Structures are given as structure tokens and as C-alpha cells.
Amino acid sequence: MHHALHSPRRSASVVLALVLAATVAAALAVGASARASRSNHRSKSRSHSVQKVVHGAGGLSITSQPWGTVPAHPPLNQALPASLYTLSNAHQMTVKITNYGGVVQSIWVPDRRGHVKDVALGFPDLQGYVTDFTNPPAGGSGDTYFGAIIGRYANRIANGKFALDAVYTLPQNNGPNTLHGGPDAYNTQVWNATPSAGPHSVSLKLTYTDPDGYNGFPGQVSNVVTYTLTQDNALHIDYSATTTKSTVINLTNHTYFNLAGEGSGDVFGQLLQINADSFTPTNANLIPTGQIVPVAGTPFDFRTLKPIGRDIHSAGAPEGNQLVLAHGFDHNWVLNGSGMKLAAVAEDPSSGRVLSTYTTEPGVQFYSGNFLVGDLVGPSGNTYRQSDGFTLETQHYPDSPNESTFPTTRLDPGQTFTSSTIYKFATAGGGHGHGH
């Protein structure tokens, strides 16, 4: 390899690839011996694509690599470099996360035969996210929010208005509504990132301070979001936030799952169970009417596992025209129970991959990828069309600031908002129950 690096016959790109390979190989050996660490140092001086590695016990690791530059945009108006972090455990699970929007770029998990695939929709590079999140082409899928941290207020606020002690007016970026915190919200910010390794897990801690008054929200909000990969193939997401003035807060993650692999087609045959006896129907702008309606006897009944596609084309009674208004499922389910509890189980019968979602949040927005129209290309090289993925956005109910009967999303100075969600992967083999 050393010889190849100095061969004048090699093209620049081959040399670059070899330098990268040498760098990665050297970086992977960090901590193994003093000699390995010296060779890593030498590699660093040759290449900008340095991987930094933090090793945990028992095959756990987290590495980082430069991932391009995010163009200047509000509220900082400063171009900033982004990184891609790779979290791996000893059980074939790898999660890649960028500090651009805290986006979960990919989730690699095994099927029942040990074949690993990426089950999260996304883009192969930073530019894909920047374009989609800040300047999506007209007539396409629009802003998908693929994999991102969503805040300060996930989901919709009707007419971009809410009252606390005063009335606040927000930018309307979704018809008359404010969606996912407004333009240039949490999903577009470059978060400060700190990787770490513990005995049973590796973590990436992300922080972002949202300025007082930005996008119309009162109070400066300090956010901490920590992603943790554990040895039992779970991705934990822990959120906390404090504010300098009374405000509203609703944080979630916007990963789209396809348990057969991103870019493998629609999810209609994948099974879903949602631990909810009721849901919040909406008006034509996808704003809750305020009612909490039992799912029994409606297409919204996911109390036992059923294929996502079984009832998705239903147009009428008894639930009204809910699936017409939303072009599929795009609703908040009112979760049963309190504290950390099971929210949903999804299963791909063909691969056996199972995703169990747990959360401390009172609701989950199950969105069946209704607005994907085939213009976006994932890392697989395939396009994403309608229902090629689904989200399980754990959160408070949409438009809670304007619905006094919904659990409150108010955060006051001196309080700390906390929330936790776990996406845990396993496999089910031929009807023999779940395990991995």
C-alpha cells in the first residue's frame, strides 16, 4: 500500500482512495498499541479525511469523519463543517448520525439470517439533506425531514399562532400552519457533538441553543439530544431542554423506516401494532379537531399487528374521510399507559426484522410516507415513492398549544423538559417468537 501511494502511474482518485483506506485502517488500530497510534499520526498528516475513533468495551466503537460544509443560514448565518459519526456494536448494528440536524443517516441491522441492511431512508451525502431541508424542488416530495431531530415544536401549530401569556405569531411553512418548528429549524442546524463510549454502549451527545424569538418562539432554549447505541441493538434517544422564558416545546426524531431495506419498495406488507386505543382525527389542514376518538372498528385500529397496507385505501365511514385528507396515515395516536412504555411494534415478515418503539411521550405520529413522489434517490440508488417508508414520531399531540384538553407542551424557566424514545431491533424467525 505504501508503494502504491508513491506510484506516479496511479490516478489522483485512486491515490485518494488508498490514502483514505490507509487512514481508516490506521485509525481502527488506535489504542491497540503505541506503534499503531504513531502510524495513525503519520496518516493524519497525509489526509484531511481523518477518522477519529472512540472505542468502548466488547466491540463497541464510535468514529467520526468530515462530511462537508453546511451553507450559512439563519439564525447563525455562518457556514459550518459537519461530521458523520458511525456508532457500531458487536451484534451487527451500525447507526450513522450527522450533527447536521442530528440526522440519523442510516441504521444497519441484521435480518433473521444475519444479512445486514440499512432500514432508514436517507441520502448518501450532506448535499442531499441540505437541498431537501432548505430548498426542495417544486413539485417533488418537499421537505421530508429524513432522520432529523425536530424542534422547537414538532408537528403542526394551527395558523402559526398560539397564546401563552401573550399571543405569538410564527412563520407559516405548511399551508396556514407552522410545521416542525418553521423554516431553518432544529433539523437544519449544525449541532455541537461529543462522542463517548461506556462499558455497554456508545453515545453521541448533541447540543443546540435556539435563540430567543427565533421563528417567533419566546425564550432561548438550550437543547441536549443524546443518541446511544447499546449491545442489545437498541438506539436510545434522550432529549432535554431548558428555557429562559415560558415557551412551548415538542421534540421528536423523524426517521423513516423500511424494515426490508431503504429503497426496496413499499411497506404495505410490513406489519404494525400501535399501543393505542384512540387517535386524534384532523381537519383538512391536518390540525386535530380536538376530539379523541376510539380506533375500534376503524382503519386506525392497530391494536394488534396488521399489514400497514391492509386498510390504507379506505375512503369512508366509520372514521369519515381521514385517510383521504391525509393521503394515507398521518395522524397522532394517543398511547396507552404512562412513563416509559411500548408505543409500537413493526415487523417485516420476509426478512424477520422487528422494530419495537418505546417512549415516555404521550403520542406517536404514524406517517405512511404519503408525500414521497419518486424524485428522491437514497443511498441504495433507488427512488422513494409513496409509502416506501413509515415514521413513528414519538411526541406530544399536534397543535397542543391551542388545545387545552391535550397534555401540555408548555415549558417554563426553571423546569427541564425531558423525553426518551427507544428504537429496538430484533428478528422474528418463522413464527417462533421474537429474539435476536
One of 142, 216, 269, 307 touching ligand GAL (CB under 6 A): 142
Instruction: Give the nearer residue to ligand GAL in terms of CB position, either 253 or 427.
Output: 253
User: Taking CB under 6 A as the criterion, which residues in 107-126 touch ligand GAL?
Assistant: none
CB 73 within 8 A of CB 214: no
Minimal distance, residue 334 CB to ligand GAL, in Å: 16
Q: Is 367 in the site for ligand GAL (CB under 6 A)?
A: yes
Output b/e per residue, 113-123; b: 16+ Cβ within 10 A. eeeebbbbbbb
Q: Is 393 a catalytic residue?
A: yes
Q: Is 371 in the site for ligand GAL (CB under 6 A)?
A: yes
CB 75 within 8 A of CB 211: yes
Which of 180, 393, 396, 436 is catalytic? The answer is 393
Instruction: Give the nearer residue to ligand GAL in terms of CB position, either 85 or 153.
Output: 153
Q: Is 349 in the site for ligand GAL (CB under 6 A)?
A: no
Minimal distance, residue 103 CB to ligand GAL, in Å: 14
Output b/e per residue, 355-392; b: 16+ Cβ within 10 A. bbbbbbbbbbbbbbbbbbeeebebbbebebbbbbbbbb
Instruction: Give the nearer residue to ligand GAL in terms of CB position, either 207 or 285.
Output: 285
Residue that is written with C-alpha cell 425531558 in the block: 418
How many Cβ atoms sit within 10 Å of the Cβ of residue 124? 13
User: Taking CB under 6 A as the criterion, which residues in 385-404 touch ligand GAL?
Assistant: 393
Q: Is 361 a catalytic residue?
A: no
Minimal distance, residue 251 CB to ligand GAL, in Å: 13
d(CA 180, CA 161): 14
The 37-76 contact track toward ligand GAL, x by CB under 6 A, reads ----------------------------------------
Q: Is 250 in the site for ligand GAL (CB under 6 A)?
A: no
Q: Is 361 in the site for ligand GAL (CB under 6 A)?
A: no
One of 111, 118, 330, 361 touching ligand GAL (CB under 6 A): 330
Max distance between CA atoms of the chain, in angstroms, equals 73
Stretch of residues binding ligand GAL (CB under 6 A), selected from 35-43, 90-98, 308-316, 365-373: 365-373
One of 100, 108, 129, 145 touching ligand GAL (CB under 6 A): 145
CB 275 within 8 A of CB 362: no
One of 88, 144, 258, 387 touching ligand GAL (CB under 6 A): 144
Which of 254, 331, 396, 436 is catalytic? The answer is 254
Instruction: Give the nearer residue to ligand GAL in terms of CB position, either 330 or 347.
Output: 330
One of 99, 356, 365, 421 touching ligand GAL (CB under 6 A): 365
Instruction: Give the nearer residue to ligand GAL in terms of CB position, either 93 or 308.
Output: 308
Q: 165: which residues sit within 8 A by CB, 6+ positions away?
A: 246
Instruction: Give the nearer residue to ligand GAL in terms of CB position, either 186 or 367.
Output: 367
Minimal distance, residue 391 CB to ligand GAL, in Å: 6
Instruction: Give the nearer residue to ligand GAL in terms of CB position, either 144 or 215.
Output: 144
User: Taking CB under 6 A as the criterion, which residues in 214-243 touch ligand GAL?
Assistant: none
* Strands 116-118 and 434-435, bridge-based pairing: unpaired
d(CA 121, CA 131): 16
Task: Give catalytic residues, as residue numbers.
Answer: 254, 393
Which residues of the chain form contacts with ligand GAL (CB under 6 A)? 142-145, 179, 286, 330, 365, 367, 371, 393
